[in-house]
Chains A and B, each alone.
Chain A
Amino acid sequence: QVQLVQSGAEVKKPGASVKVSCKASGYTFTSYYMHWVRQAPGQGLEWMGIINPYGGGSTSYAEKFQGRVTMTRDTSTSTVYMELSSLRSEDTAVYYCARGTRDGYNYRTDYWGQGTLVTVSS
Protein backbone atom coordinates (compact mmCIF):
# COMPACT_ATOMS: atom_id res chain seq x y z
CA GLN A 1 0.00 0.00 0.00
CA VAL A 2 1.16 3.53 -0.69
CA GLN A 3 2.80 5.16 2.33
CA LEU A 4 4.45 8.53 2.77
CA VAL A 5 6.28 8.82 6.08
CA GLN A 6 7.56 12.23 7.07
CA SER A 7 10.25 13.27 9.53
CA GLY A 8 9.45 14.46 13.03
CA ALA A 9 8.51 17.84 14.43
CA GLU A 10 11.06 20.65 14.37
CA VAL A 11 11.55 23.83 16.39
CA LYS A 12 13.63 26.50 14.72
CA LYS A 13 14.69 30.06 15.46
CA PRO A 14 13.85 32.91 13.10
CA GLY A 15 16.36 33.11 10.26
CA ALA A 16 17.24 29.42 10.41
CA SER A 17 16.47 26.73 7.85
CA VAL A 18 14.51 23.51 8.14
CA LYS A 19 14.67 20.37 6.03
CA VAL A 20 11.71 17.99 6.09
CA SER A 21 11.88 14.51 4.60
CA CYS A 22 9.19 12.31 3.08
CA LYS A 23 9.96 8.63 2.52
CA ALA A 24 7.78 6.88 -0.03
CA SER A 25 6.92 3.19 -0.23
CA GLY A 26 4.41 0.91 -1.91
CA TYR A 27 4.84 2.26 -5.44
CA THR A 28 7.49 3.05 -8.01
CA PHE A 29 9.06 6.21 -6.61
CA THR A 30 10.21 7.71 -9.91
CA SER A 31 6.84 7.27 -11.61
CA TYR A 32 5.00 9.87 -9.56
CA TYR A 33 5.65 13.51 -8.76
CA MET A 34 5.58 14.83 -5.19
CA HIS A 35 3.86 17.99 -3.98
CA TRP A 36 4.49 19.94 -0.79
CA VAL A 37 1.58 21.69 0.93
CA ARG A 38 1.53 23.52 4.24
CA GLN A 39 -1.16 24.48 6.74
CA ALA A 40 -0.70 27.18 9.35
CA PRO A 41 -2.48 26.62 12.69
CA GLY A 42 -6.24 26.91 12.21
CA GLN A 43 -5.80 27.94 8.58
CA GLY A 44 -6.32 26.47 5.13
CA LEU A 45 -4.04 24.60 2.76
CA GLU A 46 -1.26 26.32 0.81
CA TRP A 47 0.64 24.71 -2.08
CA MET A 48 4.39 25.23 -2.04
CA GLY A 49 5.66 23.37 -5.06
CA ILE A 50 6.27 20.08 -6.82
CA ILE A 51 9.21 17.87 -7.74
CA ASN A 52 9.61 15.19 -10.39
CA PRO A 53 11.72 12.43 -8.81
CA TYR A 54 12.63 11.04 -12.22
CA GLY A 55 15.74 12.09 -14.10
CA GLY A 56 17.17 15.44 -13.02
CA GLY A 57 14.56 16.11 -10.34
CA SER A 58 12.91 19.10 -12.00
CA THR A 59 10.90 21.38 -9.75
CA SER A 60 8.25 24.07 -9.88
CA TYR A 61 7.77 26.37 -6.91
CA ALA A 62 5.00 28.76 -5.93
CA GLU A 63 6.16 32.31 -6.51
CA LYS A 64 5.63 33.11 -2.83
CA PHE A 65 8.38 30.66 -1.87
CA GLN A 66 10.80 31.23 -4.76
CA GLY A 67 14.29 31.81 -3.43
CA ARG A 68 13.50 30.29 -0.03
CA VAL A 69 12.41 26.75 -0.84
CA THR A 70 14.41 23.88 -2.30
CA MET A 71 12.94 20.46 -3.11
CA THR A 72 15.27 17.56 -3.74
CA ARG A 73 15.07 13.78 -3.95
CA ASP A 74 17.18 10.72 -3.28
CA THR A 75 16.11 7.89 -5.54
CA SER A 76 18.28 5.37 -3.66
CA THR A 77 16.09 5.76 -0.56
CA SER A 78 12.82 6.86 -2.25
CA THR A 79 12.88 10.05 -0.24
CA VAL A 80 12.03 13.61 -1.14
CA TYR A 81 13.13 16.63 0.86
CA MET A 82 11.78 20.14 1.31
CA GLU A 83 14.11 22.77 2.71
CA LEU A 84 12.80 26.19 3.68
CA SER A 85 15.27 28.91 4.60
CA SER A 86 15.13 32.33 6.29
CA LEU A 87 12.36 31.10 8.54
CA ARG A 88 9.99 33.56 10.17
CA SER A 89 7.16 33.13 12.63
CA GLU A 90 4.62 33.03 9.79
CA ASP A 91 6.24 29.80 8.57
CA THR A 92 4.96 27.96 11.65
CA ALA A 93 2.78 25.29 10.09
CA VAL A 94 2.26 21.61 9.41
CA TYR A 95 4.08 20.66 6.22
CA TYR A 96 2.70 17.81 4.12
CA CYS A 97 4.10 15.87 1.21
CA ALA A 98 1.49 14.50 -1.19
CA ARG A 99 1.98 12.18 -4.12
CA GLY A 100 1.32 13.72 -7.51
CA THR A 101 -0.58 11.42 -9.87
CA ARG A 102 -0.87 12.31 -13.52
CA ASP A 103 -4.28 13.41 -14.78
CA GLY A 104 -3.94 14.47 -18.39
CA TYR A 105 -1.22 17.10 -18.45
CA ASN A 106 -1.59 17.87 -14.76
CA TYR A 107 -0.74 16.27 -11.43
CA ARG A 108 -3.37 15.81 -8.75
CA THR A 109 -2.59 15.00 -5.13
CA ASP A 110 -3.80 11.61 -3.96
CA TYR A 111 -1.88 10.10 -1.02
CA TRP A 112 -0.62 12.39 1.73
CA GLY A 113 2.05 12.08 4.39
CA GLN A 114 1.13 12.41 8.05
CA GLY A 115 2.49 15.96 8.25
CA THR A 116 5.46 17.56 10.01
CA LEU A 117 4.94 20.42 12.45
CA VAL A 118 7.55 23.14 12.08
CA THR A 119 7.52 25.76 14.83
CA VAL A 120 9.47 28.98 14.36
CA SER A 121 10.05 30.75 17.64
CA SER A 122 12.77 32.76 19.29
Chain B
Amino acid sequence: AQSVTQLGSHVSVSEGALVLLRCNYSSSVPPYLFWYVQYPNQGLQLLLKYTSAATLVKGINGFEAEFKKSETSFHLTKPSAHMSDAAEYFCAVSGDTGNQFYFGTGTSLTVIP
Protein backbone atom coordinates (compact mmCIF):
# COMPACT_ATOMS: atom_id res chain seq x y z
CA ALA B 1 0.00 0.00 0.00
CA GLN B 2 1.09 3.55 -0.66
CA SER B 3 0.95 6.56 1.62
CA VAL B 4 2.64 9.90 2.13
CA THR B 5 3.37 11.87 5.27
CA GLN B 6 3.78 15.63 5.20
CA LEU B 7 5.65 16.93 8.21
CA GLY B 8 4.47 20.32 9.37
CA SER B 9 0.88 21.30 8.70
CA HIS B 10 1.87 24.97 8.77
CA VAL B 11 5.09 26.54 7.54
CA SER B 12 5.92 30.25 7.65
CA VAL B 13 8.81 31.84 5.78
CA SER B 14 9.87 35.38 5.10
CA GLU B 15 9.64 36.73 1.59
CA GLY B 16 12.88 35.90 -0.19
CA ALA B 17 13.75 33.03 2.15
CA LEU B 18 14.13 29.36 1.26
CA VAL B 19 10.95 27.30 1.12
CA LEU B 20 11.22 23.68 2.27
CA LEU B 21 8.11 21.50 2.47
CA ARG B 22 8.64 17.93 3.58
CA CYS B 23 7.12 14.76 2.19
CA ASN B 24 8.01 11.18 3.04
CA TYR B 25 6.45 8.26 1.25
CA SER B 26 5.75 4.65 1.96
CA SER B 27 5.45 2.32 -0.97
CA SER B 28 5.93 -1.36 -1.66
CA VAL B 29 6.78 -0.61 -5.27
CA PRO B 30 8.82 2.14 -6.94
CA PRO B 31 6.66 5.19 -6.41
CA TYR B 32 5.47 7.92 -8.67
CA LEU B 33 5.26 11.14 -6.68
CA PHE B 34 3.48 14.42 -7.24
CA TRP B 35 3.31 17.86 -5.66
CA TYR B 36 0.16 19.91 -6.08
CA VAL B 37 -0.68 23.44 -4.95
CA GLN B 38 -4.14 24.62 -3.95
CA TYR B 39 -5.05 28.27 -3.74
CA PRO B 40 -8.14 29.31 -1.76
CA ASN B 41 -11.39 28.21 -3.35
CA GLN B 42 -9.61 26.60 -6.25
CA GLY B 43 -8.80 23.09 -7.37
CA LEU B 44 -5.38 21.48 -7.21
CA GLN B 45 -2.70 22.46 -9.72
CA LEU B 46 0.28 20.26 -10.53
CA LEU B 47 3.65 21.73 -9.53
CA LEU B 48 5.83 18.79 -10.53
CA LYS B 49 6.02 15.03 -10.65
CA TYR B 50 8.60 12.26 -10.35
CA THR B 51 8.15 9.31 -12.68
CA SER B 52 11.49 7.49 -12.26
CA ALA B 53 13.54 9.57 -14.67
CA ALA B 54 15.79 12.26 -13.18
CA THR B 55 15.75 12.35 -9.38
CA LEU B 56 15.82 16.15 -9.31
CA VAL B 57 12.57 17.40 -10.76
CA LYS B 58 11.94 20.99 -11.73
CA GLY B 59 8.44 22.34 -11.76
CA ILE B 60 6.52 25.50 -12.31
CA ASN B 61 6.96 28.78 -10.44
CA GLY B 62 10.58 28.00 -9.51
CA PHE B 63 9.81 24.93 -7.40
CA GLU B 64 11.82 21.73 -7.49
CA ALA B 65 11.90 18.46 -5.60
CA GLU B 66 14.47 15.72 -5.18
CA PHE B 67 13.57 12.04 -4.97
CA LYS B 68 15.76 10.33 -2.37
CA LYS B 69 15.11 6.63 -2.22
CA SER B 70 17.42 6.06 0.76
CA GLU B 71 15.43 8.57 2.80
CA THR B 72 12.04 7.76 1.21
CA SER B 73 11.61 11.48 0.74
CA PHE B 74 10.43 13.88 -1.92
CA HIS B 75 10.80 17.32 -0.34
CA LEU B 76 9.69 20.44 -2.20
CA THR B 77 11.96 23.46 -2.29
CA LYS B 78 12.12 26.96 -3.72
CA PRO B 79 15.18 29.17 -3.24
CA SER B 80 13.30 32.42 -2.70
CA ALA B 81 9.72 32.69 -1.46
CA HIS B 82 7.30 35.09 -3.07
CA MET B 83 4.08 36.40 -1.59
CA SER B 84 2.16 34.62 -4.32
CA ASP B 85 3.47 31.25 -3.04
CA ALA B 86 1.14 31.40 -0.06
CA ALA B 87 -1.16 28.41 -0.51
CA GLU B 88 -1.80 24.81 0.55
CA TYR B 89 0.63 22.22 -0.79
CA PHE B 90 -0.12 18.54 -1.16
CA CYS B 91 2.20 15.64 -1.78
CA ALA B 92 0.71 12.55 -3.42
CA VAL B 93 1.86 9.08 -4.39
CA SER B 94 0.34 7.14 -7.24
CA GLY B 95 -1.08 3.72 -6.57
CA ASP B 96 0.57 0.57 -7.80
CA THR B 97 -2.65 -0.65 -9.38
CA GLY B 98 -3.25 2.40 -11.49
CA ASN B 99 -3.60 6.11 -11.23
CA GLN B 100 -5.20 6.27 -7.79
CA PHE B 101 -3.57 9.07 -5.81
CA TYR B 102 -2.94 8.95 -2.09
CA PHE B 103 -2.60 12.48 -0.76
CA GLY B 104 -0.89 13.77 2.33
CA THR B 105 -2.70 16.00 4.77
CA GLY B 106 -1.22 19.13 3.26
CA THR B 107 1.07 21.94 4.36
CA SER B 108 -0.17 25.50 4.54
CA LEU B 109 2.56 27.93 3.50
CA THR B 110 2.48 31.48 4.80
CA VAL B 111 4.87 34.06 3.35
CA ILE B 112 5.67 36.96 5.65
CA PRO B 113 6.49 40.27 3.96
Say if A and B assemble together: no
